[in-house]
Structure formats: C-alpha cells, structure tokens
Amino acid sequence: MSESNFDIQSPSCVLCGWTDNCPEKYGEKKTYVEHNLTVHYYCLLMSSGIWQRGGEDEGVDGFLITDIRKEVNRAAKLKCNICKKKGASIGCVAPKCKRSYHFPCGLRKECIFQFMENFRSYCWEHKPVQILPDKESRGPSQCTICLDLVEHLPLYSVLKSPCCKNAWFHRECLQYQALSAGIFFFRCTVCNNKDKFQEEMLRMGIHIPEKDASWELEENAYQDLLQCYQHCDIRRCLCKKGRDYNEPDSKWEIKRCQSCGSRGTHLACSSMKSWEQNWECVECRSIFAKPGKYSKQKKRSLATSEKTDGTTCLLEEPSPKYPRQSPGSQHSFLQSPKIICQNNLSPCSRLELPPSNRMTMSLSPLMSNSNWSLRKKQLRTQRREVSSILKELKQQISTKTTRLNINTENIWNTALKGFRQRNFRPTNTIEVKFTNYKNRLKTDTSTESKNLFFQLLMGHLQNSSLFEGSSAKNLSLDLQALKENLYFEAGKMIAVSLVHGGPSPGFFSKILFNCLVYGPENVKPNLDDVADTDVAQTIKKIKYSSSLSSLQSTIHECYDFLAAAGCLRPITDLCDKDMLVNDLLTYHVIKRIISPLESFRQGLKTLGVLEKMEMHPVAFSSIFCHKPERLSAETLCDLFTIHCSSGVKEVGGADFWMGYLQDVESGESVVTLEDILYFVTGSFSIPPIGFDPEPTIKFLYVGYPIGNRLLNCLELPITKTYESFKNKMELTIRNTLRVERE
C-alpha cells in the first residue's frame, strides 16, 4: 500500500486500511461520525467473522456496530498474505488453506469473491476457473460489451458465457454491466439468457446488486408516456383557435379514438353532441371493418360468363379504346379490382360497367401457362406468408418514438450513430429527420422519410465492404469492420427494416441465407459461391486436373495458397482432389467468414427475425435472395381496394383506373407504375410487411387525383371520358414528382 492510502484528509476503512473511494471495486465507502467509523461495503460483506444480525436500518446495512468492532479486533491479529500487514479479515474457504488477506489486496492478487449465499472467498490458488473445451478456438474475438478484442484464454480478466459458444467478455466490462443493470436486467448480451448466465457469473466473482437497473431509476424517464393525445386530426377542423385547442365540457373538447387513443377530434368537428358518443379514427375503422362490415370481393375473371341471382352476364366486346390482344401477345389484362360498396355496408355482388367502357380482363394463356408465371406465383405466396409473419412481429413496436437524424450523403455513419445512441430501442417507433434536406420535412410524412431512409440504407449495405460478390452476395472478411462490430449492426439494421416496414435486402446468395438459417456446418458450397475470381480459378485448376502429375504440379504452384487455407496434405491419387476441392471451398466460402457470420446472425436476432427465418426458411428466402417483384398493372390492381361511396352513383371510374394501369404498363404514359405507387404511399416498391393501412381508392367529385400518404389512399376524380381521366392523372402525378425531386 502506498502512503497516499493513509491520507489524513480521507479516512481509511477500518477493515482494509485503504482510503480509496471506488464503489465499482470496493463498494460504497461510508463514514459514521458518531461511531468514528469508516468502512467499505464489500469489505464488510466478505469478512469471514461477521454476519448481518440486524435489520436493514440498523448499524451499517444490517451489520451491527458492536459486531464490526469485534471483527476489527479479530482481523487485527491476522497478517495479510499479500501486503504482509495486519487487519486481514477475509480468509480462503478451501479446506486446509489458511491464507488471509484484505479485500483490495485480494482483488490485486486475482482472488475470487462470491457475492451470494455465505459470501465465500477463494485465494489465488484455490479459486474456481472456467474449463475450456480442447477444441475451443484460441484466437481473439470481440468482447460484446466494449467491442475490443479479448483472448480465448483461461485468464482472471477474461470470462466466457456459459450459454453462448462464441461469447467472451472482459471481467471489468461484465462487472460494470452488472452494477448498471442490477439483478433484474443483467443477462447474456448475446442470447439474453438470465438464470444460467447469472449463476456462472456469481460463481466467478461478479457482484450483481439486488436493485433495479440504473435507467429505470432515472427520474421522470417515462414522463412522456403519461401525456394524453390532444390534437384534432379531422381533415377540416372547424375550431378557429387551432387543432390543439381543447376546452373541456364544450363542443371544442377533444375526444380521442376509443380504439387506439392516438388520434383525436373536436366534438364539433365530428358532429358529436356529447362526450359519451363513441368515436373511432379512420385507420381503426378500416382495420375493424375488414372481417365483418366490409368484405373484399373475391378475384375472378370478368371475361368468363358468371351467374348472378340466376341470370347470366356476358361482357360485351371491348371498345376501340382497348384493342383486342393478339394470341401471341404477352400483354395480360387485369382481373376485376377489389371493390367495397358502402351502400348498406355490403360488398358489391358484381361491378356493372358502362357498355362503352367495358373491356376483356382475362389473363393471357401464354403467361399463365409458362414456368416463369408459376415461379412468380410461388414467390407471391411466399411473400404473403412473410408479410403475415412480419405483421405478427410488428406487434412488439410501441408508440414511444426514437428520432434518427440522418444525412443522406453520409447514410451509413449517421445511421450507425443513431442505432448506437443510448435511447435507441428496436421496439420504439422510428422517426427519421433528414438533416441535409430541411425543406423536405414540410411535405414528407414520417412514414415516407422512414421508407426513404431504409431504402438508402439497404442500398448502401449491398455495396459496402461487408459483402462480396456481384449480384448474389456473401459476407466478406473485413477485420476492421469485425473489430468495430459492424456485422452485428448490419444484421440488426436489416431486422429493424423488415419489422418497421422498410425494404428487404434482396441480394443474399443462397449459400449465405442457408448458413444463417441452417447453420454453416450443414451447408455445402460449390464453385459458384466463391466471390474472388482468382481463388475460383485456382480451385478450378485443381478440380479439373486430368492426371496425378498435373494435380501435383498445380499443388506445388499453389503451395502458399493451400497453406493459408490449412489444406496442405500428401496427394497420392487423382481422386484425392475431390476432398481437397471440398475443403478449399468450405474454407473460402464458410470458415474464413465464420466470425462475421456469427456476429451477423446475432444482429438478425433483433426483434425475433432470425428465429422466424429458421422456422420459415422457404418463405423468407423469397425476400432475402430475390429482388422485389417488378410492379405490373395486375399487381397494383390487386394491391388497391376500391371504396364506392353511397353518394357516388357512377362507378365507371374503376374501368378507367384499370385501363390507365394497362396504358402505363405498355409504355403509353409519361409516368410509371412505380410513380403511381410513390404518389400514393411514398414508396417505389411494396415492402415485405405490406402497407399499413392497406392502400385504397375512392372516387370523388374532385378536380384532380389526391395521394394521401398518411392513409395510403388515392382519391380519384370522377370524369365522363377516359381521356379526361388519363390527362388529369398524368398532369398531377408528373408535376408532383417533379416538384419533389427538385
């Protein structure tokens, strides 16, 4: 001990004699002036001759003052086996071991103190150790707390997770984590196991205090959850004092949605006469309407005869506006759109179209019978399955928001900073603010900004150094990225994107996807999976050697290459090349990236995404290994549900809508199908989870089409002619997108 430990201005602990005040190492240092007593909490806990015989409010945390005096007198007779000074109150509990020491001295000598049961202590020779399997990798890996490298060695300063094969920690990092998280939240940072993890860490001397987590003790940390929503969301608010004005017991009192509570209206704005009347917002009404009041019409071909109320309905010949398709044409017509009529709250039994505007809408036999069409149908089925699974995972998302400040010119670093900020939780609702587009926020909805953010982020990941390959990509080996834990963050970002309504990556190779869901040990790579062309060429040279002499010559030329892969072996027969090629492929495609792969898998576990991938591998491969389906007129027609208002008698607009989609798909328009989708939803493609709320169409007496991106609703004008309808669509969508791009 140095002389500074006996600084007169800082009283020393009566048990160890140290003046240091370091709660993380020695526990809280308390001074009791009335008893002329200063003591470290851990020194009290671990002392061998004292027990807590009092209540929590008696003495020092239950240790009676008289007992502490007795323990000090007992320890004064014992010499520390480390510093050779008196006052050693802690003894090793191993049989026949007579070593005694001070608590700080024991820490320096790497003794183990177990903060559980009888608070046992073990000296440096008898302390418990973690047994490592002989086959355990001895190379360094990342501490999952501080992200610095940690050696896989049986050292006092290194601890291994009992529940995860590749999870290693610095002892100091774990101790700080335990003190912050407390007994209720301290768990494995990789797999979230609590019981098995805590049991092992207590055995190895980690102190886990019986208290709530530090973040739970922060005053008013969740104050924002107690605030009630006070805003009128009706399209035309009648209150002259503004949408946020709320006057109780009057017609300007704000009534919240009885289902979600996150939308509101003034009583007068919704023509409600009293507070007792129930009110639901548009979003909730559309959700609750699906199973009962509003039922979607089943899709069917309108080109075939069908009976309604015992009568036969035959569609007339198509008008000149929609020319008949030749038998060899691949341009397929649309099926009947989904239509919901609000007359008597019942679905339309059949859509009656004006004779002059009717058209044949059967799918081309050429397309429906092709193998590609069958494959597309399979992908659609799989993606519908993924959509329902992601919607189930989305139920974890709370209303508490986390804002990400994103610079589109530095998308990766700003996204990484946002995901690593202290208050970021994957279960929070994400709001995105673009810091380099200040004017953009005036027109963009939060959903639109979030969609753009995830779209840019997935694009960056595809072209980043974390992946290698041309179109179907595998993980690369980037040691700097591994050290900075970027593979974990990438997996986490992809999982968050999927559950929060963003796009899927769509660029994974089959080998990468299979390694993620089946495990690398169950995957057999082939030559096409090797991204490096030089490596692939070398393996090909070995594989296609036609004689033993040429094979041995090739191996001699590739000596360094084989040595680096650990594949050097004697070759005595030509057939030995097959095993050699398999080993080389396994090394370069799988073993070489095993650390990035494991880190990436842990990131994908966020929000339970990887677990669902393992349960439904075929379905999820449709979004991880395939780009989103190219939009077609049929896709958009199926995506939107048409709502016919009871006050609108003409429904011929549905025919105009389908005809317009056909024109856009065939290139007879200045806009694209992606432009139409973006005009309504703020997204150029359909996200794997689908849209929420589901896109709808309303035909109203409006001058021009209106895209409501908050509700994903397209309000279309009722016109007398198709030319007028098309002109209004072209003008509005083109000008809107041009302004936004500028």
Q: For residue 377, is pLDDT > 90?
A: no
- Residue-level pLDDT at 295: 37
Instruction: Write out pLDDT tens, residues 122-170.
Output: 999 999 998 877 666 566 788 888 888 888 888 889 999 998 877 889 9
Q: Please give the sequence-ordered ranges of beta strands (E in DSSP) within 161-291, or none if there are none.
A: 168-170, 254-256, 264-266
Structure tokens at 338: 């989904």
Q: Which residues contact 626 (CB under 8 A, 6 or more apart)?
A: 379, 506
- Report pLDDT for 602: 94
H-assigned helices in 592-721:
594-604, 609-615, 617-624, 633-639, 653-665, 673-681
- The DSSP bridge pattern shows strands 112-113 and 121-122 to be antiparallel
* Interval 714-725: pLDDT, tens: 999 888 888 999
pLDDT over 70 at 458, yes or no: yes
pLDDT at residue 236 is higher than 70: yes
Calculate mean pLDDT across residues 236-265.
88
Across 622-645, average pLDDT: 84
**CA 402 – CA 419 distance, rounded (Å):** 10
Pair of tokens at residue 685: 């493609």
Distance CA 153, CA 695 (A): 57
pLDDT of residue 136: 60
Model confidence at 344: pLDDT above 50: no
pLDDT reported for residue 227: 73
State residue 511's pLDDT score. Answer: 93
CB atoms within 10 A of CB 611: 12
In this predicted structure, the answer to whether residue 324 has a pLDDT above a threshold of 90 is no
542 near 580, Cβ under 8 Å? yes
Q: How far apart are CA 693 and CA 676, in angstroms?
A: 17
Average pLDDT over residues 544-557: 89
Percent of the chain scored above 70 by pLDDT?
A: 82
Asked if 712 and 693 count as a contact pair (C-beta separation under 8 A), the reply is: yes
Residue 350 has pLDDT above 60, yes or no: no
Phi, psi of 168 (to 5 degrees): -125, 150
User: Do β-strands 168-170 and 158-160 pair in parallel, antiparallel, or remain unpaired?
Assistant: antiparallel
Q: Give the C-alpha separation, 101 to 156, whole Å.
A: 18
pLDDT tens figures, 493-531: 999 999 999 998 999 999 999 999 999 988 999 898 898
The length of the chain is: 742
Per the prediction, the chain carries an average pLDDT of 81
Query: Considering only CA atoms, which of 462, 465, 473 is closest in space to residue 530?
Result: 473
Cβ density class 673-707: b for 16+ within 10 Å, e for less: bbbbbbbbbbbbbbbbbbbebbbbbbbeeeeebbb
Query: Over the stretch 78-112, which tens digit does the pLDDT of each residue have?
Result: 999 999 999 999 999 999 899 999 999 999 999 99
Q: Is-contact 79 100, C-beta < 8 A?
A: yes
Q: Label residue 631 exposed, middle or buried (CB < 10 Å: 0-12, 13-18, 19+).
A: buried
**196 pLDDT above the threshold of 50:** yes
